[in-house]
Structure 1
Amino acid sequence: MGDNIDGSSTAAQSAQEEIEPGSSDPKNGNAKDSGFFRRLFAGFSQTENEQDSEAEKDTPAPGQTALHGMLNLHRMRLEEVAIPRVEVVAVPDDIGRDELVEVFRESGLSRLPVFEGTLDTPIGMIHLKDFSLKYGFNGQNGNGDFSVRNLMRPLIFAPPSMPIGILLQKMQTERKHMALMIDEYGGVDGLVTIEDLIEQVIGEIEDEHDAVEGALWFEERPGCYVAEARTPMEEFEAEIGLNLREGLDDDEIDTLGGLVFVLLGHVPGRGEMIRHPAGPDFEVIDADPRKIKRMRVHLPNMAAE
């Protein structure tokens, strides 16, 4: 909370010097191998004239969304990227072992903030790897004594106005991949991970649990599909044999994400369920404050069959 975010060029240069493995040590080989973060911070260390020049070229036209790129390290603030407070999945410090396993399983997350009393009193985070190494993935190993506090790791706290480039440097140097956004009164306003920040520069990062490359949806089990928000409506309707646009006023619904937005009237949060008049339920499993990314479509009739 007390981080000084003025003088970002000096901070960026010092952070860059710390992470340039090939700059002065001959054992590390060519400086070109200095890695992804060096290129990120080199972009963050640009002079103001260079930033202004590139900003003119990269500023999106009216009606367009913001572009990905190095300039986002300067122009985007934490409040533009963070997951809102209402969508933060966190656990109390007195949670039991079985309850913690269930939260990990239902959320699909590997890191969870830990709080004492309320979310406005965060005390750390717990990593699924730390838990599973000691207690097993199902929490069946180890002795009967269990305390989340014994497994906690520290968190980063940052103000909403912090540039994402400054926070990315801090995460890299302190080796902490999660930060909580704290308001002026000390309350928690949101959460961000290092992946959220990097995606603002290079675009969405797909992990091992995402749909296979080129597949916009797949059948997870009978009557249940996992689909990308950009899935074309016509193709998905043909797959499930339902007309999902019938009775809706908006004739320009082209994707599943657009359909959910029209049904709800706003961008839903992770875990939110939306009932379609034709019967299916849409469960949002991945989203950020600006768009839906992925959802689970439940077809009750097909599941019953």
Structure 2
Amino acid sequence: MGDTSDGSSGSNTSSTSSEAGEPAPQGGFISRIIDVLSPSDTGVTVEPDAEPASHHLGGLGNLRSLRLEDVAVPKVEIIGVPSDISKDELLGVFRESGLTRLPVYDGTLDTPVGLVHLKDFALQHGFNGDAADFDITSFMRPLLFGPPSMPIGVLLQKMQAARIHMALVIDEYGGTDGLLTLEDLVEQVIGEIEDEHDTDEDEFWSLEKGGSYLALSRTPLDEFENEIGKSLTASEEIDEEDIDTLGGLVFMLSGRVPARGEVVSHPDGFEFEVVDADPRRIKRLRVRLPD
């Protein structure tokens, strides 16, 4: 939904190279977030009995209270590519996943070697160019690394300094435990970020070719039922009193937060494909109606 070295402490020092074509950030929103993380630099003295600053910061408090393990995409959900992948295969992964950055590994995800950016791939090789001289290492970028216990605010600072927008969470044995992007971190402060590929903010769902629906997980269940002309809570297996949204219905049916790409079946024949999710919540769903 997808995210070098052995994860040692020296890994991050080699990752300070700039991402090509991305100028160093000068001030702006992320810089103001970083300033909040460094109250000691402001010259303000905090009284011993004063409430913690995070109490007044709202979402900014998450930068100190949340750890990488709380936010990262689990290893089983990471979409990565091997270092010996062909040009056509890489294009297929970009197309099917809808992602713009992919981690690259040598053999398995536990031996990451870098990341590839769709922009670099398009600029260097094009989508219809000659695949004979394709070498993924020629446009591969470095990754950042961090332990599961690292506060997400610390990783945000590292991403800003290195201008690298993807990091892998490395466990105590040096293996890959999860993946984070800059967007994942910023969303913990300001909420979910919608882009041009997401359903419009003022629309809960859109009708796709073939009769399926792409819907936000927060879609009111009663409104969607009116749209399709069918009840999704009529089955005896579903307790409608505790369900208000499509995401709540899917969570109840699966008994957990399902992974990105997982399909959850409804007793009446509906299918809910999880298009976008993180370890803590469902974001978008594709709803397929019964034949």
Please indicate, yes or no, whether the TM-score normalized by the shorter chain is above 0.5: yes
Helix, strand or coil at the partner of 1:295: strand
Matched, 1:39 2:32: yes
Aligned equivalents of 1:50, 1:169: Cα separation in 2: 26
Q: Does the C-alpha gap of structure 1 residues 3 and 39 become closer, same or farther in structure 2, counting only changes over 3 Å?
A: farther
Helix, strand or coil at the partner of 1:142: coil
Helix, strand or coil at the partner of 1:227: strand
Q: Deviations over 1:160-203 (max 9, x none)?
A: 11111111011011010000000010000000001111111111
The residue correspondences of 1:95-174 to structure 2 (distance < 5 A) are 95-136=85-126, 139-174=127-162
Aligned equivalents of 2:61, 2:10: Cα separation in 1: 22
Residue number in structure 2 paired with 1:53: 51
Aligned equivalents of 2:281, 2:98: Cα separation in 1: 19
Q: CA deviation at 1:37?
A: 2.3
Matched, 1:278 2:268: yes
2:287 pairs, out of 278, 293, 297, with 297
Q: Partner letter of residue 133 of structure 1? A: L
Number of aligned residue pairs: 266
Q: Does the C-alpha gap of structure 1 residues 68 and 78 become closer, same or farther in structure 2, counting only changes over 3 Å?
A: farther
Aligned equivalents of 1:88, 1:50: Cα separation in 2: 44
Query: Do the aligned residues in 2 keep the contact of 1:134 with 1:141 (CA within 8 Å)?
Result: no
Helix, strand or coil at the partner of 1:120: strand
Q: CA deviation at 1:268?
A: 0.6
Residue number in structure 2 paired with 1:7: none
Aligned equivalents of 2:47, 2:230: Cα separation in 1: 53
Q: CA deviation at 1:249?
A: 3.3
Q: Does the C-alpha gap of structure 1 residues 20 and 273 become closer, same or farther in structure 2, counting only changes over 3 Å?
A: closer
Q: Does the C-alpha gap of structure 1 residues 50 and 225 become closer, same or farther in structure 2, counting only changes over 3 Å?
A: farther
Q: Partner letter of residue 267 of structure 1? A: V
Aligned equivalents of 2:180, 2:31: Cα separation in 1: 21
Q: CA deviation at 1:55?
A: 5.5
Structure 2 gaps of 5+ residues are 1-7, 12-23
So what's the TM-score if we normalise by structure 1? Answer: 0.81
So what's the TM-score if we normalise by structure 2? Answer: 0.85
Query: Do the aligned residues in 2 keep the contact of 1:68 with 1:203 (CA within 8 Å)?
Result: no
Aligned equivalents of 1:20, 1:149: Cα separation in 2: 26
Q: CA deviation at 1:235?
A: 0.9
Aligned equivalents of 2:140, 2:47: Cα separation in 1: 42
Matched, 1:200 2:188: yes
Residue number in structure 2 paired with 1:89: 79
Residue number in structure 2 paired with 1:177: 165
Aligned equivalents of 2:209, 2:227: Cα separation in 1: 14
Aligned equivalents of 1:239, 1:20: Cα separation in 2: 45
Aligned equivalents of 1:89, 1:182: Cα separation in 2: 16
Q: How big is the alpha-carbon RMSD for the aligned residues of Structure 1 and Structure 2?
A: 2.3
Aligned equivalents of 1:295, 1:274: Cα separation in 2: 10
Aligned equivalents of 1:193, 1:50: Cα separation in 2: 36
Residue number in structure 2 paired with 1:13: none
Residue number in structure 2 paired with 1:250: 239
Q: CA deviation at 1:213?
A: 2.3
Matched, 1:266 2:256: yes
Query: Do the aligned residues in 1 keep the contact of 2:274 with 2:285 (CA within 8 Å)?
Result: yes
Helix, strand or coil at the partner of 1:231: coil
Q: CA deviation at 1:204?
A: 1.2
Aligned equivalents of 1:224, 1:290: Cα separation in 2: 25
Q: Relative contact order, CA 8 A, sep 6+: which one is greater?
A: 2
Helix, strand or coil at the partner of 2:94: helix
Aligned equivalents of 1:56, 1:164: Cα separation in 2: 14
Q: Deviations over 1:208-244 (max 9, x none)?
A: 1111121010112231111000101111111112211
Residue number in structure 1 paired with 2:9: 2
Query: Do the aligned residues in 2 keep the contact of 1:219 with 1:226 (CA within 8 Å)?
Result: yes
